[in-house]
Structure formats: C-alpha cells, structure tokens
Chains A and B, each alone.
Chain A
Amino acid sequence: MPLDTSTYSLALLRLDGRRWNELRRLTAQISTQVAADGSSYLEMGNTKVMCTVAGPSEAKGAGGVRLGNDRADIRVSISIAGFSGVDRKKSGRNDKRLMEMQHTIASAFAQNLFTKLYPHSTISLSIHVLSQDGSLLAACINACTIALIDAGVPMHDYICACTAGSTSSYSSNDETADPLLDLNTMEEQELPFLTVATMGESDSVSVLIMETKVQVGRLEGMLAVGVDGCKQVRAILDGVARARGTKMLEGSRM
C-alpha cells in the first residue's frame, strides 16, 4: 500500500511529488490526423485524449431532408478505450456519465463558437480517451478547443479547463485544508474536487461541475485555484496553437 493523501501535511507534497498549485505535465499537438477537418492530441499527466472535428458540414436527415435551424448544431461523442483505465472495462452505449460529459462539452462550445455563421449545419467532435488518470472532462474540453482551432471554426476565446480539489476529505472537515490544482485518479478518489472551465483569460466560468461533497467554506479557495489553473492551461494551449500557426506560415512562404 503506497502512501495516501493524508501525508500531504507532512511536507506539503502530493502523492506524485507536486505542490498544491502545480499542474501536471500538459502537452498537446495539433493536426494529428490530416484526414480530419481538425484534430488534436492532448496529455495531462497520464490522461491522454485524442479529438477530431468533422464539419461544419451540412446537416442531413434521413432521405436528404435539410435539418437544423439558424445555427450550427454541435455533436459530441466520447469513446473510452477499454485499455484506458486500470481495469479493462467496456462502457455501455448509454453510459450516463459519458452522456453528461458529452452534453457538458456541447453546451459549453455552443456558447463559445460563432454557430450563427453556420446555419443548418453540424459540427461533430469525436473524442477518444486513450488513457485515464484523473481530470478527464478537463482534458476532453482542452483537446476540443485546440481541435476546433485546427478546424478553423471561429470562436470567442479558448475554453480551458482543469480540476481543483482540497487536500482533506469532506468528513475530516478541515477548514484550513489547502486547495489543490489538477488532480490525478488517486486524488480524485479520496478528495473533494470540481472541474472548472473558463473563457480564455477572463474570469468568466463556462463549465463548473462538482460531484463530491465539500464544505462551502472551502469552495471559494478551490474555485480560485481552478480558475488560476485555467489561465495556465490557456497559456500552454495558446503556445501550441501559435507554434502550429508559425509553422503553417513558414510552410506557405516556401
């Protein structure tokens, strides 16, 4: 049995050697699949996801009937690879947790993208989770953001997400517990945490989900750390997008 989260207070070190306010290694790549309209690959620690974007394309119903309304429809599908977790698990078609994540991502981007520019069309995002180690929803949102940038869909700003938690469990009721940034699986299992996503560098929150119990007094600290984390994530994603842009410009110049 390795140590658990209760040892944090001994040296202010988390289970993987991070401090309370540090992100895990976050790396991303754009245009990983040339065939797709937009694609990305993103790692947050050992959580690894791939995202491909198809569209905006004309929405067609059965028999070629034109569907949709005055704005683009965003469809998200997440598939979790059987080998991605510790136990090999086949997730069902109607996994409620997946459906909730899909819905969350779709509605966040519905606010952020200029969907009005594409009436009667669909933007579909398909996410493949290759490895899970905490902060899954946050990783999916981040991967979608850069994939959409790759696809060239106009948007207000980056939506950047990360998780934030607290160093002691709900029942220990420790008001002075430090907030934590970017939790891994071990921490998610033991500690209260939330997932937050913000619009770019602003403090405006576009996604906020918490499924664990925590005393309200600790929430503010957690949220502040989470929002701060989102800004760090944005800087990294921005770097990735810009590097890609520079490369493309260089390519066109030649």
Chain B
Amino acid sequence: MTSLKRSLVSDPYASNISSKVYVRSTKAGKVQKIVRELYLRQDIPCSSKLCTACLKNAPRDASGILAPFVLSAKPAGTKKYTQGHYLVPDTNALLNALDLFEQKSAFYDVIILQTVLEELRNRSIPLYNRLIGLTKSEEKRFHVFFNDFRLETYVTRGEGVSINDRNDRAVRRAVKWYSEHLAQAVKAADGKSGQVPAVVMLSDDKENLKKAKKDGIDSCSLREYVDGLDDANNLLDMIAVVKEGREIKDTKMVQKVHKDYLTVSKMMTGVKNGTLHQGIFNVTPYNYLVGSIKVPAFDKPLMILGRESMNRAVHGDVVVVEVLTKDQWKEASTKIIEEETINKDENADAEDGEAVVTEREQRALQEEVKRVHSKTSEGRAQPTAKVVGVIKRNWRQCVGHIEESSVSKSGKPQMVFLIPMDKKIPKIRVRTRQAAEIVGKRVLVTIDSWDVDSRYPVGHFVRSLGDVENKAAETEALLLEYDVQYRPFPKAVLDCLPAEGHDWIVPPSTDDPGWQDRRDLRHLQICSIDPIGCQDIDDALHARPLPNGNFEVGVHIADVSHFVKPNSAMDAEASIRGTSVYLVDKRIDMLPMLLGTDLCSLKPYVQRYAFSAIWEITPDAEIVNSEFTKSVIKSREAFSYEQAQLRVDDQSQQDDLTLAIRTLLTLSKKFKQKRMDAGALSLSSPEVKVEMESETSDPIDVKTKKHLDTMSLVEEFMLLANTSVAAKIYSAFPQTAMLRRHGAPPKTNFEELALQLKTKRGLELSVDSSKALADSLDTCIDPNEPFFNTLVRIMATRCMMAAEYFCSGTQAYPEFRHYGLASEIYTHFTSPIRRYADLVAHRQLAAAIDYEPIHAAVRSKGKLEAVCRNINVRHRNAQLAGRASIEYYVGQALKGRIVEEEGFVMKVFSNGFVVFVPRFGIESLIRLRDLAEPEPEGVFDAEEYVLETKGSREIRVELFGKVVVRISDVLEEKTGKRVVKSEFVKSGGKE
C-alpha cells in the first residue's frame, strides 16, 4: 500500500505555510470552524525610503506598477527620539485616540500592522474606515505592514495563550523586526551605522509596555508620547479616558449604578424566541427620562421609563429590551421633565457611590406614578420595558457647550460636563486641561464609553468650533450635528469637471459626439420658474398647442448625468453627500459650483443639455402619450414665482411665453383636482422665511411663506414627470429601479389626534384610506378660526410616516404606493443638481430609452440599497438642518424685540403646555413655573385636555385653544442656543 502521509522534507513550501484556525458563530447561532492557509513570505517591503533591499523585490501589480514607498527617510523626532521615529500604534491606542492620528500637527510616518488593523475592524467598523482613509492619504504617510504574512514577524498562538496576548506579541515582534531591519538598511546604504530612526510602539496597555521594555523595544504610552509634543495641551484632551485606576477600583468594590448587559448570545436567543425585543431607542423630546422603542411585536411603541430602565442607552442606539410585567405598565407621561432643572449642580468629578437615580429624579418619577395610580385609567396604560443590552451604539461626535458650573478655576486637568445641543443626548463627562478656555465655546466631543459605575457617559474633547452665538461656529455646529458633509470638494472631485470650466458650451456643431441621440429643442419657448435668487435651476417647462387641439407639454431637467459619470470621484462624493443642504444663509452643494450653478443649471439665454419629458395632453388633462429624450434647450427666461404670477395675471401680456404659462396653469389645476379626487393629501408644515439684510446678511424679519398659483403649477408638472419616469424605469428595470414610497401610516399613529379632535371639537377623523383622511381633514374647520384647519393639518403631518427611497426589487408592487400623493408609483427625477436619487433615476431612464448602456453601479441591487439607505438618512438630516437653521435665525431676528402674538395650544402636559405661534412658525413650551413665582398649582384633566391653575396665578388652557403669548428671545442655558421664549399673557384672541 502506498502511504498518503506526506514527508515534510519533500515539501518545498513547508516552512512558509501556516494555517490559521478559528471558530466563529454565525447569525443563526451556528458555530463554524474555519481553516485558512497562510503563505508566509519574505518580499513584503518595509516601505521605508531608507531601505534599498526591500525596493528590489517589492511587489508589482498586474500592470507592473510598483507601489511607492511611503515612510519618509527623515521622519520627525521628539525630545526623546531626536533621531526621528516611526510610530507603531497598537489597537487600543487607535481605539482611544484616532482623532489624534488625524491631526495635522503631528503623527506622521505611522506603521499600521495587519494584526492591529484586523483587531480594529473587529472592534469598530467606523474607526476602521477612518483608518483606511488615513492610509490612503499621501501626506500623512501611513503604511500598512502585513506582519502576519511576513515570515520573520509571524507569531503563532501558543496553547492557552489568549488572542490578545498573541496579538500584543505580534506587535512587539514586528516593532523589533522593523528596528533591526532599518538598522541593517542604513548600514547597507552608507557602510556604517548612521542615523537610524527609532521605531516606537504606542500602547495604552501597561502589561504590553512592560514586556516591551523588557524586550528592549522603544515604547511609550500615548499620554507620555503626546506630552513630548509641542502641542501637548491641546492634543492630550483628545485621548479617550482610559480606565487608569482600574486596579484600585476593583479592590474597592465599585458600586454599580447600572445593571450589567446580557451577553450577546443571551440577547440573540432571547430575541429569537420572542422573550426580548430589539429596536432603536428613542428619547422623547420633552422628557429626558422617558424613552420609547418601536418593536415589531407591539403596535404601540414600548415605553422605557427612568434612567434605571434606560440602562445607559443613548438616543439612536440599537438595543434589546425586556417588557416589564403588566402591573408596571404606565400611562404616557404628561409631564415635562428637563435634565437641567433636575440635576443642576452636580459635580463632574464625583464618581463613586452615586445612585443611578438621584433623589430629585426619583421624586419626579414618584409623582408620576402616584398620579397614574390615583386615577382609574383603564386601557390607557402603555407597555413599558427595560433595556437589557445594546446591539449597536449609534454614538457620533456631538456638539455642545461646557456647563459652566462644573468648571473649577484651577488649571489642572479636570472633569467637566458637556451639554449637547441635542436634548436627547445626556450630559457627557469630559476630561480636559483647557476648561477655562473652552467655556462659552461650541465644542465637538466624542462619546467613548459608558460604564456600569457611572451616571453619565464619558467622552473626550475633539476641537473647539468658536464662540457660542458666533455665526460661523453656530453654522458649523449645525452641520456637524446633522452630519452634513460641508468640507470643500477634494481635488480628485474637481478633476472630474470639464476642463473648459465656465467657458464650456454646448458644441456648436451637431456632428459632435455630445449631440448624438439628442433632440434639438432650441426653437421651443422654454422658461423656468423658481424661487427668487435661485441659482441651481433644475427644471424648465414649455407648452404649445398642437394642430389637433391638444397641447404639447415638456418638462426639461438639467442633464447632470452627462457631467457626472458613474464611478468617478465626483459621483462617489455626490452619493455620500446625497443632497444639497439649504440653510438660511448658506447652501451646501451636492455637486461643485461649476456644475450646479452654471453648466448644468438651465440658465436663460444660453444653450444647455437637458433631459426632457414630453407629453401630448388633451385640454381635459388626459395624457395621450409621453416620451423621454435627451435634448438641447435654450431657456427664454428665468422667472421667479412672483414674476410669473404677475405675468399671468396681467391680461395685457399676450406673448408666447405668457400664453404658455397660462396653458400650463390651467392644465396644472386640472391635474391637481384629479390628484385630490384620487385621495392626495394636502398637508401642512409651518413654513416661515427669514428676511436678511442684503449687505450684512443679518436677519431682520420673519415672514410666513405665501402660496402662489405658479408654485403649484411647477409642482404639478414635476409630480407628473416623476410619476411618468417612475413607471418607465420600473418597466425597464423591475428589480433595480430607484423609486420613492410613502407608506400608509399605521392607524395607531392617529389615535391620539382623533381622540383629541373628538373630545374637544366633536370631529371625526377617519384614517381608513388617504382619501378618507383627506376628506375628514377638510371637515376639520372652526368657522371662527380659519387657522384651525392648518393646525390640524400640521398635527396630522406629524403622524405620518416618512417617505423613503427604495430599490424596486426590495418591495412588492402594492408597497410602492405614495400615500401622500395617492400615486401608485413615484420617484424623484426633477432635481438632479441637488438630489442624488434623481441622478440615479436619470441614469436608469437614459438606459431605459437606449441612450446609453446601463452602468453596473445602477443595476446592482445591493449597491442601490446601500445608496438608498444613505440618501434617506441624508435627506432627513438635510431637512432637520434646514429647520434648525431657520429656528436659529428666527431667534436671531427677534433678538432684543418683544412682541405679543397669537398662538394655539398644541399639547397639554400636567405641568405645562406647548404653544404654536403661526406668525413665526415656532413651537414653544410654557411651564407652570414660568407663569408665576411661586409656581402655581396645576390641575390637569387628561380626559378633557384642560389644565387649570390655582394659587399665585389662575389660568385655564385647553387643547386647540387660542392664547396670546409675549415673545422674546433668551439665551437658553442648557443648549447655549438663542431661542424664542414665550410668556403666557392670556387665553383667547388678541384684540
């Protein structure tokens, strides 16, 4: 018999093949054993410019190109390492202080080991992505050294050795190899041992540092290293708080203020068999002690009451909760509880022995419970739950300001509280040594951790944005808060622009390849109608009568896809930005200015490439046929809504353009009627405009937006274009069309509003279909109060689901429906300059009409889903940022003024109420303690939504009631924002 046993000697590879065996568990809970080969090699270069030996056998890619060596021959040094040094951080160094490595003032020539990179990826994907970004930037000179593939630096994991110890050893081995290798390289280069840069290991692990010292490896802790830099004070704050005193604490037996989380496997099994529930944790805006979480198993969101139940969850985290027993279910809170008033003068340095719930918090909650018990509120109790674990933290950088009372005057490093601008995020404890300087500034911090023994999360300082209320700082704060990408476009993106710049024109010769398959529509009387001062004109329209009595109507959209090709750097940037963001005084573009406001923009009097949708429409607004084509157009005029309106109304104007606009207007009214008949909703959101002084751009006044017929003209035709395009791309690409849907809101969303309308006004709100809802909203009228209907619409809008982009293959056809527009299918096509979704729709439509082959990126379902996820978030954030910007400017515009305005009560709590002031589009909270001193006693009738006060001031407010408030501005201490403050004057209207 022949033996199959291989003798080692005959194997030419034996010494350099190793295998990596590890066990992993899958999502389904299965355990898999993975065996992988490792080919160890000696041609992995050190990438130092000092070394010539490595350069000789450095790898080349398939086209024979050599990756350039990164690490500088003369790296920077510090006092300790005067000869210059390369840095080798270990995993915890990167985890604790990646912000440091991104600094411009230091941290150049860094070697990232494969071991570290892998470990970092396991620990935090966002940090990993940031690090990969760093390794790609040329100026920072980061090199990834694959130490686990190099024969000399490969380390095997011994029996009983923990993976961490093995990795630490691998790091030390690599550092040692590097320093020996460099010494050799320098010797080989000039024949004697010259200046060899030190290779310094950065670690925060004491054990690792100790072992490194023993092995004779240059090493130091992050803190030690940063201390030796010029910029030390500033940089030191960026290191995350490491649990230095861990040992001491352990012996003292920490008093845990929170419960430990369950293990991952326990949570997984719990969620699987239904005893636990997973969802996204949200904090209610008015009461920081109440959170809610929507889980599939319950119709109503589960309430999470109090800090103990929240158990260190922060707004936005994906958490696992356990539902509490029925006797602990509570009624939804009717009380306003704000963190600042309850835990005012806490000491940030105090750490041990505090209870999770302070006495005052306890009292606030107690009252709540008493109230619930005293009343027989059968059936109104909501299920409550407690957090038992966190699946994924949604911690991001947050902007806020330092709580002044937590700062002590000494210059020593100290713990201070940072109060985030977002009220839903708890205070963050930050260690800083520049407390005195950053008080009164907007600062950016990152949350690092939240330990069981701490009442607040711990974070570290990233940078200061500028003074509170400074315009630039506030704008930047707002952009950071909503994660808007506002940095200038990188060079790679600008390189994608046409070389001609602003001189680019539509090629004069129709033989030019740019003209291929483009229809010449330059003879048409096309015009655009936009808000005043609009520079990025996406759309233009035309209409002309046809001999058969019908009309030809065309919607022409800027042909952005001609300039932004798939997979270019510009496309990548645009897909990340997702949308342009409009702030009161600023616009953050999705595409570079050259395209957005010039080459793509359908400016008047010049020829532009366009993507046209052309319909034949009967006078009764029936569509006879439709077609799509790429075209060249020349807009005759760019109107503002007001100008267009004037022209239409002025009967003396009888030119072609005006006639065309009138035709369009008539048709649009018919289209609108049809939509309304089909059950489209007309919803409302408070919209105001801030008027700015033209020179200083300081806000001077606030106006509510006026609605003009020409606005709905444009809107109708954009809707028409969007629906037609949606149907077209869906028929061409049933699996991958980029569409937009608006889900029907669950009935429970309207329960509260319907109940309120019924008890207060005896009105029925029917929510069976969008048509029924639209009709019943029409009946919600108060003859004495014209605004009442708008108020109800505003409140109804808040019960809606958010519309979202999706890829057609991910939903069944009935789910495509756009509830608000009562359209079966819908997409966004008409604003490719400012929305990425439209750009994708353009590409798909171009392919659907055989203009160009479909590009792989807009055909891959997985890719499109990722794009949709991103743009949905970006779209929401852009809206929120826009609103926040208006809110800020309204505050600024009212600065120093006091006005009395009418408002309406939108919400009533047991200790306060919310008033909506239409004039400024603001909502403000009035608490009982604001009414008079001492706080009047309130009697709240939850069934009737009436709040009456007794004692120092007697008032009576009810839901939907009209009140007069005195509006002034005040610098809110908690968020450092200048906000509008309303004081209650009286119930009833203003004379």
Contact = CB atoms under 8 A, between A and B. Distances in A.
Given A25-B17, A31-B2, A32-B4, A17 B149 contact: yes
B59 interface: yes
Interface string B181-198: 000000000000000000
A221 B62 contact: yes
Contacts of B582: none
B566 A173 contact: yes
B863 A171 contact: yes
A11 B862 CA distance: 27
A86 B33 contact: yes
A98 B4 CA distance: 26
Contacts of A186: 36
A211 interface: no
B857 A171 contact: yes
A16 B44 CA distance: 13
A103 interface: no
B62 A11 contact: no
A3 B44 contact: no
Contacts of B38: 16-17
A65 interface: no
Contacts of A15: 36
A177 to B, nearest CB: 9
Contacts of B1: 34
A15 B117 CA distance: 13
A171 B856 contact: yes
Nearest to B566: A173
Contacts of A11: 44, 59, 67, 144-146
B529 interface: no
B250 interface: no
Contact of A46 (B13, B37, B117, B566): B37
A172 to B, nearest CB: 8
Given A34-B1, A171-B856, A13 B44 contact: yes
Nearest to B149: A17
Contact of A12 (B36, B59, B148): B59
A171 B2 contact: no
Contacts of A10: 132, 135, 144, 146
B31 to A, nearest CB: 10
Contacts of B567: 172-174
B657 interface: no
A22 B857 CA distance: 30
Interface centre among B17, B38, B39, B855 (most CB of A within 10 A): B39
Chain A interface extent, by class: 35 or more
A8 to B, nearest CB: 9
A17 B122 contact: no
A46 B35 contact: yes
B40 interface: yes
B11 interface: yes
Contacts of A21: 62
Nearest to B154: A17
Contact of A184 (B2, B17, B37, B63): B37
B694 interface: no
A12 B67 contact: yes
A19 interface: yes
A173 B857 contact: yes
A27 B117 contact: no
A226 interface: no
Interface in A6-41: 7, 10-13, 15-22, 24-25, 27, 29, 31-32, 34, 41
Contacts of B59: 11-13, 19
Interface centre among A17, A22, A32, A172 (most CB of B within 10 A): A17
A2 B117 CA distance: 9
Contacts of B35: 46, 133
Contacts of B17: 25
Given A17-B146, A20-B62, A86 B34 contact: yes
B6 interface: yes
Interface centre among A16, A34, A215 (most CB of B within 10 A): A16
Interface in A25-72: 25, 27, 29, 31-32, 34, 41, 45-46
A179 interface: yes
A45 B863 contact: no
A249 interface: no
B39 A16 contact: yes
A31 B2 CA distance: 8
B669 interface: no
Contacts of B862: 171
B32 interface: yes
A254 interface: no
Contacts of B139: none
A157 interface: no
B408 interface: no
B118 interface: yes
B865 to A, nearest CB: 11
Nearest to A31: B2
B956 interface: no
> Nearest 4 CB-CB pairs, A to B?
A17-B149, A171-B860, A17-B39, A178-B62
27 contacts: A2-B22, A11-B59, A11-B146, A13-B146, A13-B149, A16-B36, A16-B39, A19-B59, A24-B39, A25-B13, A27-B11, A29-B2, A41-B4, A133-B35, A170-B860, A171-B863, A172-B567, A173-B855, A173-B856, A173-B857, A174-B567, A178-B61, A178-B62, A178-B63, A179-B62, A184-B36, A225-B62
Interface of A: 1-3, 7, 10-13, 15-22, 24-25, 27, 29, 31-32, 34, 41, 45-46, 86-87, 133, 170-174, 176, 178-179, 184, 186, 213, 215, 221, 225
Given A45-B37, A221-B62, 18 more contacts: A1-B122, A2-B22, A7-B117, A12-B60, A13-B146, A16-B37, A17-B39, A17-B146, A29-B2, A31-B2, A46-B19, A87-B30, A171-B862, A173-B855, A173-B857, A176-B63, A178-B63, A184-B36
